[in-house]
Structure 1
Amino acid sequence: MGSVGTAGAPAEVKLPTIKLDTTLTELYRQASPKNANIRLGWVSCGITSGVDFTPDFPRNVKFVYEDQTFVSTPSRKLSHGNGRLQHALAKKHLSLIPQRDAFISGATPVIFFNLGRSPKQVEHDRREAEATISVLDPSQRPELVFCPGPSKIPMKEHGIDKLEYKVVFDGLEAYPLTHDLETHWLLNSKAGLARSGLPTPQSQIIETEGYPPAVDSCCSVCRDAATDASRLPSIPPTCTGPRGEWLSRETNRILSAVRARPVPFVFKTQQAFGGAGTWLITSDDKKAQLLADLSGLGSPTIQNNESSSSSSTGEGQGEGLLRKLLPLLTPSNAHLHPTTVLLTDLVQDLSGDYGLTFFVTASGAPLFLAAAEQMITDDGSSAWIGSRIDYGRQEALREKFQGLMERIAEWVASHGYVGPVGADVLCTSTATGEEGKDGGDGGCHIVDLNVRTSGSVSLPLLRGHFTGRGLQCASSFSIKVKGGRREFIDKWRGPFEDGRMLILSWYEDPEEGGSIADVVVGAEDEERLAELMKEVRENTEEVTF
C-alpha cells in the first residue's frame, strides 16, 4: 500500500499496491528460452526525425520517421534552437512513453534519457519515474537507469547483456540488441506490411528513384542552405541545380499518382509513430487538400488516422510535406526506402475496430494478450476518444483473431523477431474475399502493424487488478492537466484508493505549472466506464504524439 501526501489535504491518499498478471520481462523469457538467462535492458523511448530532443539525443537521420511533429511543424520551427518545441517533445518521448512501458516491464533495467543536463533536471526526471513505479509490487519494479543520451548507455555498469527497444533509432547501432535494426525497420514499415502477404488492404507502392545529388555538386543556393546545421537538410525552392531537378521529378511522380487515384483511398507515408503519416481521402475535396499538403500549394488541412480518426494540422502554404521529406533521403538510408509512399484501398462497411496485442515466440507462435476496442463518439462525428477492454469478451476475441495472430506471428518470427506486437485491425460486416486474397481474412484487415509495445498493452496485464475488484472494463489514455500529480490524485481520491484509477506515467513541468500523463481507469461495465472517462476528460485535455 503506497500513499501520496497532498499539500493542504486533510489526509494522505492511500494507494493500493499494483500486482500485474505478468510483465514484459516474464513474457520475453517465456517467448525466447535461449535468452531467458540474459540480463535484458529495455529502451522504450519515442523518436522524431524533426529536431534534436536534447544536445545528447539527436534526431533520427538514417531511420527517418514521418512522426506527428515532422509532419505538422513548419521547417522554420524544426530547428535545434527551438528550445520550447524540443522540451515539449522530450517530455513525451523521453519520460511519458518510457514510464508507460517501465510500469509493465518487470524486474529488469529500463533505460531513461535525461531531459536536461543540470543536476536539478536530472533529479526531477528520476523523481517522476520513481513516483510512477512506487505503487508496483516490489517484485515487479524495474531498475531505473538514467543516462544523458543514446551514446552513453551504461551497459557494463548495470550488467546489461542486450537491449530490447521500442522503436528504431540511430543511436542503437553501437549496442548488442535482441533483433536487427534494419529488419525491425522493415517489419514496421507500411510497404513491409503491404508486401507481407498478410490480409491488408491492397496498396499501390510508390518508391523514390535514386536520391538527391550531393550538395557540393549543386548550386550556391543549396551550398548556402547546407551551412545551417541546426535545421533539416533542404532543397530550397530557388535551387537551380540537379538537386532541384531531382526533387521536382520525384515530387511530380507522387503527385501524379495521387491525382490519378479515384476516391476513396488512404495515403500513407512509409514509417510513422503515434498515428501520424496517414490521410483518409473520402471525397474530391479531401483529395485536393492532400495534394495541397504534399505540394505546399494550398491551405492547411487535417491529417486523419485510418483506424482511429485522430487528427493534426497539416502543411502550411508554400511548404509541402514532400519538400521536407524527400531531402532526408541519403546514400546511407536509400536501401531502406524511407521516402516511399502508399495509396491503399479504404476499408468500408465497418463492424469493428480493434487494437490487437500479443507476444511472438521464437517458434513463431502468438501469445494472446488482448483485443482492445476503439471508442468513438456517438454524436455522428466518429471522433476517436480512446480504447477500452472488456475482460469478459477476451476469450471470444482470442478465438476470433487466433488465425490472424498466427499469420502475423509466423511472418515476424521468420525475420528473427521475438517480442510484443500490436495490430490495428478493421473488421467488415461481410468477408470481402477468400482468406489471404483481396485483403480478406474473414472480413478482417490489418491496417497498421506495430512490431513493438502498443499504448494499450498495459490493459491485459492489469486484468487481475481490475477483475479482482469487480471491474470488468478498463481504458487507458493520455491527458494534460493543470497542476501536479499530488493534486490530481487528491481530486480523484476515491477512484485511486479503490484501485479503479491508476497512473501509468506522469511528467510534471514545474516551469509551465502543468503535467502530462497516461492513466488507466476501470469500471463494472461499459456504461460506467464511459461515465468515468467522460468525467476525467471534462477536467483534462488530450495529449497527442
Structure 2
Amino acid sequence: MSGSLIEKSRRLAETTMNVLEPHQRPKIRFYRGPADVALNAESQILAASWPVDGLEHLPHTLEPEIHHVLHSKEGLARSGLRTPAFEVITVTFPADGISAIWLAAESQQIISKIEARPIPFALKLQQTMLGFGTYIIRTKSEQQNLTNNILPNLLANYLPYLNASNAHLYPANLIITEVVEDTAADLSLTFFINQAGHCTFICGTTQVLAGGVFFSGATINYRDQGKFEQRCSRTMEHIGQFLHSKGYYGAVNADVLEDAKGIQWIVDLNVRMPGSYILGALKKHFWIQRGLMCASLLFKSLLRTPRDVFIDLLWDDFMQGRIVIAAWYEDAEERSFATLVVGAEDERGLVSIVERVSTLCEE
C-alpha cells in the first residue's frame, strides 16, 4: 500500500469513526504490508481476523496454522460438531513439484469424481468468503455446468497455490457435503467466546444472499432475539466448547440449518469478527433508544453519489438515526463503496428504507 493510499484510507476511516464519542473511537493503524506491522509494546498480542502470511513472527492470540484449520471447510467437517456427511478430495503436493502434466491429470481426476457424485451435494473450497467458493448442486444441468464450465478454469488457478511450504495444510483439498433436506429454518448465529470459554449471545440474523449463494447483507428483528438465543443455545455451547478446546477466543458466526425434525446442522463457521456482529452491537441505538425493531446490514454497496451528496439526499433518515455508515471507501476512480446499517419500526418499513437507499446504489 503506497503512502498516498494509506493517507487516503486514514482520512476516510477517520471521517466515519469521528461520529463516535471520543472514548468509543478505535485506534486505527495503517501499514504498507504485513512486513511493516509492529506491536507497540511487549505485552501486546495480535488477534488476527484470519491468518496472514508475513505475520508469523508476531505473537498471536491463536497460533496462525491452528486458526487456518479452524477457518477451513475440512476443519469444520472433521470438528466432531453436527455437520452434514462429507467427503474430502485430497490434493497432495507432488514430490517433483507442480507441472502442466500433473495439473491436467489432477484436475481431470477431481472432475471425474464430481461427475460421478449423486445429486444433490455441495462442493466447497477449503477457504471461502461471502459464499464465493461454495457450489450448491441440485440438478444434473448444474452438475454439468460445474464440471464442464466452472471447474476447469477454477482448478487451473486454484491448484497452483499448493506448494512445498503449505503442503502440510492441504489448502487445495475440496470438500463435498450432503445437502440438508427439508430445511425448516436458516439461522445465522453470532456470539462471543471469552478466554474462559464462556459464550455470550450477540445476535441472530437472517442472511441476505445475492443469487441465493453470495453474502450481501443480513437482517435482524430485535424483538425476536430472546427466542433466537433460546433456540440456538445448545448449538452455541457446542461450538464454543470446540473452539475453546483449540485455544480460540473472540467473535464467531455460525450458519445453522434446522431441519423439519428440529435438528440443527452447522454448515459454515466463521472463526473471526463477522459482518453481522454490528447488528447486535446496534441494538441499543435502533431498538432501545428509537423503537426501530428491524435493521438490515447492506454490505459493500456501490453508490452512485459521493458521501456528502448521499447524506444530503437521505438527511431526514440520518437525523432520525435510521441510517448508520459503518464503512465508506473511495477507490482510485472515485467510486464510493459503503457498508450501511438501516433501521425501521417493522419489516414493512425496513423494505421501504432499503428501497430508498437502493435508488442511490448501482445494480
Instruction: State whether TM-score is above 0.5.
Output: yes
The match for 1:336 among 169, 182, 194 is 169
**After TM superposition, which residue ranges in structure 1, 4 or more long, deviate above 6 angstroms?**
none
2:316 to 494, 519, 525: 494
| Counterpart for residue 54 of structure 1 | none
Q: Give the percent of matched residue pairs that are identical in Structure 1 and Structure 2.
A: 39
Given that 1:147 and 1:154 are in contact with CA atoms closer than 8 Å, whether structure 2 keeps it comes out as no
Query: Does the alignment pair 1:454 with 2:310?
Result: no
Q: Distance in 1 between matches of 2:53 and 2:123?
A: 26
Q: Of residues 18, 26, 45 in structure 2, which corresponds to 1:134?
A: 18
Q: Tell whether the 8 Å contact from 1:366 to 1:406 is kept in structure 2 after alignment.
A: yes
Equivalent positions of 1:232-311 (< 5 A) are 243-296=99-152
1:386 aligns with 2:269: no
Q: Match of 1:374?
A: 207
Deviation at 1:273, TM superposition (A): 1.9
Greater fraction of residues in strand: 2
Letter in 1 for 2:326: L
Letter in 1 for 2:26: P
SS, match of residue 129 in structure 2 = coil
C-alpha distance in 2 between matches for 1:122 and 1:367: 35
Do structure 1's residue 116 and structure 2's residue 2 form an aligned pair?
A: yes
Match of 1:469, as an amino acid?
R
Code of the aligned partner of 1:541:
E
Pick one of 194, 197, 221 that aligns with 1:364: 197
Which residue pairs with 2:342 in the alignment? 521
Letter in 1 for 2:272: R
Quick one: distance in 2 between partners of 1:481 and 1:177?
37
Quick one: distance in 2 between partners of 1:541 and 1:212?
Answer: 49
Tell me the residue number matched to 1:161. Answer: 44
Q: How far, CA to CA, are the matches of 1:484 and 1:261 in structure 2?
A: 49
* C-alpha spacing 1:497/1:159, structure 2 compared with 1 (3 Å): farther
* Residue of structure 2 equivalent to 1:150: 34
CA distance 1:401–1:253, shift in 2 (3 Å): same
Alignment root-mean-square deviation, CA: 2.0
Larger radius of gyration: 1
| Alpha-carbon distance between aligned partners in 2 of 1:393 and 1:159, rounded to the nearest angstrom | 44
Higher normalized contact order (CA 8 Å, seq sep 6+, divided by chain length): 1
Structure 2: which amino acid aligns with 1:132?
A: T
Structure 2: distance between partners of 1:540 and 1:293: 31
Q: C-alpha separation between the residues in 2 aligned to 1:387 and 1:263?
A: 29
2:298 aligned to which of 477, 489, 493: 477
1:503 and 1:518 in contact (8 A); partners too? yes
1:160, CA displacement in angstroms?
6.6
Take 2:362 and 2:242, find their aligned partners in 1: how far apart are those partners? 39
- In structure 1, runs of 5+ residues without a counterpart are 1-114, 215-234, 236-242, 297-319, 432-441
Gaps of 5+ in 2: none
Say whether the 8 Å CA contact 2:103–2:159 is kept in structure 1.
yes
The aligned residue for residue 55 of structure 1 is none
Structure 1 CA distance for aligned equivalents of residues 38 and 196 of structure 2: 32
C-alpha spacing 1:445/1:133, structure 2 compared with 1 (3 Å): same
Partner secondary structure for residue 275 of structure 2: coil
SS in 2 for 1:465: helix
